[in-house]
Structure 1
Amino acid sequence: MNTLMEQTGRLLELLGHEETPLGVYYADAKPEGFGPKPGEIFDRQREAAGAIDWQKAFGTFSCIIGNIWLARKKRKAAWISHEECGCMGGGYYSGVYAPYVEMIVNYVSTGIPGTPMEGEHYMPSPEAMRHFLEEVDPPSGLGKYCVIKPLELFTAEEEPLVVAFFARPEVLTGLHSLVGYATGGLDAVRAPFGAGCTNIITWPLTYQRRGEECAVLGGFDPSARKFMKPDELSFAVPLALYRKMLAAMETSTLTRETWAGVRKKVDKSKRAWGEVAQEGAGKD
């Protein structure tokens, strides 16, 4: 077991959380796991030439968060590439193609007038959506495949760029507190607008490139909620900050009396959702 995983095991013990977090990294070889089938290739030049079959693209849609959901359950990898993309947004946010295609500007905002595409209305205008796409500034050139897999699957030679948890509010309380303690930052946890994959992959790396040390809370994308447990959110941290969290955990609030009270609620939440045996149900 690698050192990072050993330390993560201790953090999970303190949090009372069973699910090992996922790591995000890039590779040139396709991993074993879950990803889109070959389909439409999203490219602005192909779009301008009318070469993208949008009916086919939407018909073979494959969400990164959906593949991550399978990876979480099966403890395998989820991945996306330019040739096997499945989602024009996910491909851009994960950095496997750039620049973004114009269709996403209208699709996520108010649609295209005079057509059946009404848009998702997640942004109030195409201009607002374009501003977001340029501001989020995904990584590029890191590898053919963006891979998201359980931390225990990383070899000693591999390091995640981002570590991502999926958890409910009690566990998130502990993670939020630990980030604040490790950094001393007043806004060290942020919840920016983005798709489910944006807040797991893109924003953590973008903030890090800007020299802003923070974790990213996500899971607020209505389109991705079907691939998450009820009441669950994501919590993603660049590796450098995650190492700081691990170094600080033994002297943080996670080892103090106040957290012990919250820790009981962590167990109560698991019982409420049927995730542990019902022993002691009703006791706080």
Structure 2
Amino acid sequence: MDRNFQDRFLEKWTRYFAGAELPIGFYYSDTPDRRNRARIPRGHRCIIGDLAKVRMGRPLCFDAGTIGCFGGKRYLGFESALAPDFEYFLSCGIPGKLEGERYKKSPDLVKEHLRHQKPWKAPGDYIHFKRFDMMGEEDQPLVIIFFACPDVLSGLFTLANFDQADPCGVFAPFGAGCATIVDYPCQELQSPEPRPVLGMFDVSARPYVPSNVLSFSVPWPKFVRMVDNMEESFLITGSWNNVRRRIKKAGNRP
């Protein structure tokens, strides 16, 4: 990442969102970060819980063997296959065999949903997560992820829509928590106008974030535009200053 751009964002973030948590970013590579490699899971482990450490400033590197959830492997791009009977797992379950999450009304509806969510293929063997201020010049993030309260989200949402006429410049797709911070925003990178993704509505992932926090994941090209627009946007107005003071007072920490 360009150091001047990094410093510019950090200065603006402190000015307009003082007290708010810094975002994290991720990129892929074929080389592990052995010093910060995630441990091999013992049973199920949600990657959203692991990312709490990244949000506190500890980089983490994952591969297919250190992700403790079949959904996480799929939505981070390391596995395209679905778990057996997935259409029942996401819906009504199978009596005496499989408990259903009941996130969709029927197995057939799950199958139809999956036609709209093609698996993302990781461009490298390892995915690296780092907090924004911990990134070096060699790090080239694909997506920047904010974990934020409603006041911060209002600023990010409005800033994302500042330079476009389309009222749907941000979208909130149905999906696992990890899908809304990696899979969907990475898919958006293929678009000429990549959209930020509002997420963390996944009931299963909610226990791993504070009760007043959602995610806002921004594909890198869109993030650069948002940063460039900060100083001519609503962020310099008295209206935002009223919100900004409340953000600073409340704070928003992992």
Same fold (TM over 0.5): yes
1:97 is aligned to 2:79: yes
1:153 is aligned to 2:134: yes
Q: Go from structure 1 to structure 2 and tell me whether the alpha carbon gap of 1:239 and 1:131 turns closer, same or farther (over 3 Å shift).
A: same
- CA–CA distance in 1 between the matches of 2:12 and 2:119? 29
1:249 is aligned to 2:230: yes
Q: Which residue of 2 aligns with 1:216?
A: 197
Cα shift at 1:103: 3.9
Check the 8 A contact 1:35/1:64 in 2, yes or no. no
Q: Go from structure 1 to structure 2 and tell me whether the alpha carbon gap of 1:242 and 1:142 turns closer, same or farther (over 3 Å shift).
A: same
1:72 is aligned to 2:55: yes
- CA–CA distance in 2 between the matches of 1:122 and 1:64? 20
Q: Go from structure 1 to structure 2 and tell me whether the alpha carbon gap of 1:183 and 1:35 turns closer, same or farther (over 3 Å shift).
A: farther
Match of 1:87 among 53, 58, 69: 69
Moved more, 145-154 or 246-255: 145-154
- Partner amino acid for 2:27? Y
Q: Which residue of 2 aligns with 1:33?
A: 36
Check the 8 A contact 1:100/1:133 in 2, yes or no. no
Aligned residues: 250
- CA–CA distance in 2 between the matches of 1:107 and 1:269? 39
Cα shift at 1:133: 3.3
Task: Tell me the SS of whatever aligns to 2:60.
Answer: strand
Task: Tell me the SS of whatever aligns to 1:197.
Answer: helix
Check the 8 A contact 1:79/1:147 in 2, yes or no. yes
Check the 8 A contact 1:160/1:239 in 2, yes or no. yes
Check the 8 A contact 1:219/1:233 in 2, yes or no. yes
- CA–CA distance in 1 between the matches of 2:85 and 2:60? 25
- CA–CA distance in 1 between the matches of 2:49 and 2:17? 26
* Cα deviation code 1:195-236 (max 9, x no counterpart): 111111111121232444311111111111111112011110
Cα shift at 1:253: 0.4
- CA–CA distance in 2 between the matches of 1:78 and 1:127? 37
* Identical amino acids, percent of aligned pairs: 32
Larger RCO: Structure 1 or Structure 2 (Cα < 8 Å, ≥ 6 residues apart)?
Answer: 2
With the length of structure 2 as denominator, give the TM-score of the two structures: 0.89
Cα shift at 1:98: 1.5
Q: Which residue of 2 aligns with 1:123?
A: 104
With the length of structure 1 as denominator, give the TM-score of the two structures: 0.80
- CA–CA distance in 2 between the matches of 1:222 and 1:175? 23
Task: Tell me the SS of whatever aligns to 1:137.
Answer: coil
Cα shift at 1:36: 5.0
- CA–CA distance in 1 between the matches of 2:45 and 2:157? 31
How do 1:174-253 residues align onto structure 2 when only pairs under 5 Å count?
A: 174-253=155-234
Q: Which residue of 2 aligns with 1:10?
A: 11
- CA–CA distance in 2 between the matches of 1:37 and 1:96? 15
- CA–CA distance in 1 between the matches of 2:133 and 2:78? 25
Check the 8 A contact 1:191/1:216 in 2, yes or no. yes
- CA–CA distance in 2 between the matches of 1:201 and 1:4? 23
- Partner amino acid for 1:200? I
Check the 8 A contact 1:214/1:237 in 2, yes or no. yes
Question: Any stretches of 5+ residues in structure 1 without a counterpart?
Answer: 39-58, 276-284
Check the 8 A contact 1:89/1:104 in 2, yes or no. no
Check the 8 A contact 2:147/2:215 in 1, yes or no. yes
Q: Go from structure 1 to structure 2 and tell me whether the alpha carbon gap of 1:212 and 1:194 turns closer, same or farther (over 3 Å shift).
A: farther
- CA–CA distance in 2 between the matches of 1:185 and 1:17? 31
After superposing on structure 2, the runs of 4+ consecutive aligned residues of structure 1 that deviate more than 6 Å are none
Q: Go from structure 1 to structure 2 and tell me whether the alpha carbon gap of 1:266 and 1:242 turns closer, same or farther (over 3 Å shift).
A: same
- CA–CA distance in 2 between the matches of 1:215 and 1:11? 19
Q: Which residue of 2 aligns with 1:22?
A: 24
- CA–CA distance in 1 between the matches of 2:103 and 2:12? 35
- CA–CA distance in 2 between the matches of 1:168 and 1:89? 25
- CA–CA distance in 2 between the matches of 1:70 and 1:134? 34
- CA–CA distance in 2 between the matches of 1:190 and 1:259? 23
Q: Which residue of 1 aligns with 2:245?
A: 264
Check the 8 A contact 2:78/2:121 in 1, yes or no. yes
